[in-house]
Structure 1
Amino acid sequence: MTRKVRVEVEGRHLTLTNLDKLMYPAASFTKAEVIDYYTRIAPVLLPHLRGRPLTVKRYPDGVDAQSFFEKNVPGHTPGWVRTVTLPAPGSTKGRETIDFAVMDDLATLVYYANLAALEIHVPMWRVSERGEPLPPDTLVFDLDPGAPATIVECCEVALLLREALAGDGHEGVPKTSGKKGMQVYVPWDGDEDTSAYARALARRLEREHAFITSVMAKRERPGKVFIDWSQNNPAKTTVAPYSLRAAELPTVSTPLSWEEVDAWRDPGQFVFTAQDVLERVGKHGDLFRASTA
């Protein structure tokens, strides 16, 4: 029999189920612990999600079992969850529009955590109060190391990006991907096309440094760091800061200080679990606050 627990979150009533189910079997990390993590990290997570159409990756039976991406809100979604209907060009399911959830509050976050939505992904733009798409307010460079390169080499590229961005009057904000790579975000309020700017800068660094590539083809990437500028396409999403990742351990896409990026030389130093991140936030606050909040 499925055990159910009724809870109230900010005036909303939710039914939580299967709280003892192992989401990360190797770490004995349960759904209850997933919900607890997201509840405790919410004060620094939610500002980076508000107004952004939501894509989640759900793992109903844990990270070792089948998963699926979900954009369209499930039919059983409570009416109090904010949704926006947006065009869906190129939809693989032939949809003309998609009804996206927008994770504006703790109750919505807990609702999705209970659905085993371990990973939270959002675009670089928000919607208005009326649900209309707004211009991008963020630009992202996604840094992906091709073996034997690691996240340490990504740090070198991140520092080069930081210097180049500063030369153009921009500030970069780094975070781990929660897996093998990292991202550099840039608060954006200009009229210039973010994809065009990111592509031009990635190609410039590729010309200047042999260990950087801006080409997605796998054959170009061994031993190099791929700067994926294409994540700025409005149809694409990137894992949100403080989101869990589906890995052996409950790792998190973790905001970093530039001092950490400059100093660390061991890939193992960049592995942060849910508990690590809660402790980091308790000590440092939101290191990502300069970016998308």
Structure 2
Amino acid sequence: MKSAGRVPLPRRIQPMLATLSDKPFDSDDWIFELKMDGIRAVVVKDGSRLDMWTRNEKSLTRRFPTVAAALAELPADSVILDGEIAAFDEQGRSRFSLIQPRIHLTRSKDIAEADEAIPVYFCAFDVLYLNGFDISRFPLIQRKAVLRKLIPNNEGWVRYVDHIDAHGVNFFKAASRHGLEGVVAKLKQSPYRQERSRYWLKIKAEKTDHFVIGGCTPPEGSRKFFGALLLGLYDRAGDLIYVGRTGSGFDDDALAFVHRQLQPLMRSASPFKETPAEVRKSKWTEPQLVCEVKFSDWTPDRKLRAPIFQGLRDDIDPRQCVLEESLPAPESEIRNPKSEIPQTRVELTNLDKVFWPEDGYTKGDLIRYYDRIAPYLTPHLLDRPLVFKRYPNGIHGEYFYQKDAHDYTPSWIRTENIWSPDVERYIRYFIGADREQLIYIANMGAITQNPWSSRLQFIDRPDFVIFDLDPVEASYDIVQKVAIELKAVLDELHLRAYPKTSGASGMHVYLPVLENTFTYEDVRVFAEAVASIVTSRIPEVATIERVVRRRKSGTVYIDFLQNVKGKTVASVYSPRAEIAAPVSTPLLWEELQKPIDPTRYTIRTIFDRLDQHGDLFAPVLTDRQDISSFLNALRARRRK
């Protein structure tokens, strides 16, 4: 654990969330845990102080004092655990409905009586920090070994969530047979990420989910308070989508309690993007309450079938209630990839080797992608030296960087000798050319294209300024906020810039400049000055601190040092060595006003966007702008 390095104890952790998957699977790379039906909680213990928080940062410590007292006795000076507060029925199944009646209790006497009537436990499935060491980046399987030593038995109020290796299908069948909620598949080698991730996949046997309440229908007959709750989920654009209504699952006390919670939230207009005619005479509420609902299935038009109310969930942020697209279980889409690829001079090899094991994408899938994306990508690579990060055994295998073309590189592959002062010799670079060259490079196991900012014709004169927005344990909405402020600064200078996802966790903003006019030093100085202005305006979320350990968590590093000869970032439309095979994708500035999921665009889905918008990054090649007046002003200021 020494390699982790001592770091201060974080006070807040956003729990890692699982992505919905459509069916169970077997894989030696994954472990499988039972899906709990309780309250997600993060525990932070620092000496004698203990905090326990929900997903939306509400304290649970006073609500569950018995569990908190047991956690305080853990044999660790400081620790952060992730897990679930759960109560179990007579068959040993976790049931949120057993906890729901006590969630809003505040009096110590009532809480003690509830503890006596229905015991609750903290079921720990991850450990992120221990005695001064941040272990969140360690592989999951190592973190669970640490957790097992910390909780050696399951006899008390704190329990270890065990798992099985590899055999997800039979495990899921057993969970279904016993009436359990489902299973969670977790990649053994995955780090802990404070966001929704494809490293964890939830496969549900019993269909329950969390929904935002947007209103209620009037009561009918002898029913009091209201008829049914109107339910919604947020889509990727941030709009609340109506998905159905539930009037089942309420007793008189529940009707009265929910009605009291709704009264302060009443509003005149529907919060839903579109409101069906049959509920237009309803009463509307601010979308601030979340409830848990059990249902039999989804209809083809994305409405709930037979929904039954289970209880309110004040531990869930409404914005986390989203329409999820169920991922396919990991398996390859291309059964015979070689037959899918048009004629090429390249001798293709190992086409069925799996490069993205979580998604089943193979080397053949990568080559097919580059063949199809070539008309959009090659203009952005043409005449530029390229650097590769090769993954001969897929994204979780050993990788290495390559600049030099091998002696056996075919003569029809475009290369060029360029002097490198760093190594004091010529490097034989691959040069961006055509579709055949893309296929050749992909066949080498190179997933991402990293081109220079300058072309051979003007090797010392870059074509654009690059702002590389690199989050420091910050969510993507913070990245968007920094990008929007960056645009505001450039707007004031009457300059146009073009954003794209990095394909990973960050964003790249390109400002094209006049051809053969500015040096790398010019664009670096310009980028640093603009980055400094952005940082001065929003210092709470933006930084230009170069020393990594000094950067505050939750900020975005504006890396202006990418504007150096030989430095590169992933090109537009390049896949990345990340789960789901995300692609660096151009964005419209107006899209940054709503939540963006940077993993939405992948080697499988990017073409729908291209059909809709075309190449949004094409202006980067033509919209050349003059930054000389700004540079002159900077130089004049420095001379004073």
Matched, 1:117 2:446: yes
Q: Which is greater in Rg?
A: 2
TM-score normalised to the size of structure 2?
Answer: 0.42
CA positional deviation for 1:8? 3.5
1:27 aligned residue:
359
1:158 aligned residue:
483
Q: Deviations over 1:188-223 (max 9, x none)?
A: 115471000001111122122122101122222311
The whole-number CA distance in structure 2 between the counterparts of 1:16 and 1:7 is: 12
Where 1:74 maps in the other structure, the secondary structure is coil
CA positional deviation for 1:172? 0.8
CA positional deviation for 1:273? 1.2
For the Cα contact (< 8 Å) 2:489–2:533, is it kept in 1?
A: no
2:542 aligned residue:
212
1:250 aligned residue:
581
Matched, 1:168 2:500: no
The whole-number CA distance in structure 1 between the counterparts of 2:613 and 2:604 is: 14
What pairs with 1:278-293 in structure 2 (closer than 5 Å)?
278-292=607-621
Where 1:23 maps in the other structure, the secondary structure is strand
Matched, 1:238 2:569: yes
Match of 2:403 among 44, 62, 71: 71
The whole-number CA distance in structure 2 between the counterparts of 1:250 and 1:35 is: 13
The whole-number CA distance in structure 2 between the counterparts of 1:269 and 1:64 is: 20
For the Cα contact (< 8 Å) 1:39–1:110, is it kept in 2?
A: yes
For the Cα contact (< 8 Å) 1:187–1:292, is it kept in 2?
A: yes
The whole-number CA distance in structure 2 between the counterparts of 1:55 and 1:191 is: 23
1:70 counterpart letter in structure 2 = Q
Number of aligned residue pairs: 279
1:55 aligned residue:
387
Give the superposed CA RMSD.
1.9
CA positional deviation for 1:155? 1.0
Q: Which runs of 5+ in 2 are unaligned?
A: 1-336, 623-640
Percentage identity across aligned positions?
36
2:472 aligned residue:
146
The whole-number CA distance in structure 1 between the counterparts of 2:598 and 2:426 is: 42
For the Cα contact (< 8 Å) 1:85–1:97, is it kept in 2?
A: yes
The whole-number CA distance in structure 2 between the counterparts of 1:72 and 1:7 is: 28
Matched, 1:136 2:467: no
For the Cα contact (< 8 Å) 1:84–1:101, is it kept in 2?
A: yes
The whole-number CA distance in structure 2 between the counterparts of 1:18 and 1:191 is: 44
Q: Which runs of 5+ in 1 are unaligned?
A: none
1:89 aligned residue:
421
For the Cα contact (< 8 Å) 1:178–1:271, is it kept in 2?
A: no
1:275 aligned residue:
604
Choose between structure 1 and 2 for higher RCO, CA contacts under 8 A separated by at least 6 residues.
1
The whole-number CA distance in structure 1 between the counterparts of 2:388 and 2:506 is: 19
Moved over 6 A (4+): 3-7
Q: Deviations over 1:99-137 (max 9, x none)?
A: 101121111001011111101101211112xxx615111
Q: Deviations over 1:232-286 (max 9, x none)?
A: 011201110000100122111111111211222x5x3553211111211122110
Q: Deviations over 1:118-164 (max 9, x none)?
A: 01101211112xxx6151111100001112x2221111111111121
2:456 counterpart letter in structure 1 = V
Matched, 1:260 2:591: yes
1:224 aligned residue:
555
The whole-number CA distance in structure 1 between the counterparts of 2:403 and 2:523 is: 23
For the Cα contact (< 8 Å) 1:53–1:100, is it kept in 2?
A: yes
Q: Are residues 191 and 54 of structure 1, via their aligned partners in 2, closer, same or farther at CA, if it must alter by over 3 Å?
A: closer
The whole-number CA distance in structure 2 between the counterparts of 1:269 and 1:174 is: 12
1:151 counterpart letter in structure 2 = Y
The whole-number CA distance in structure 2 between the counterparts of 1:172 and 1:7 is: 36
The whole-number CA distance in structure 2 between the counterparts of 1:89 and 1:261 is: 40
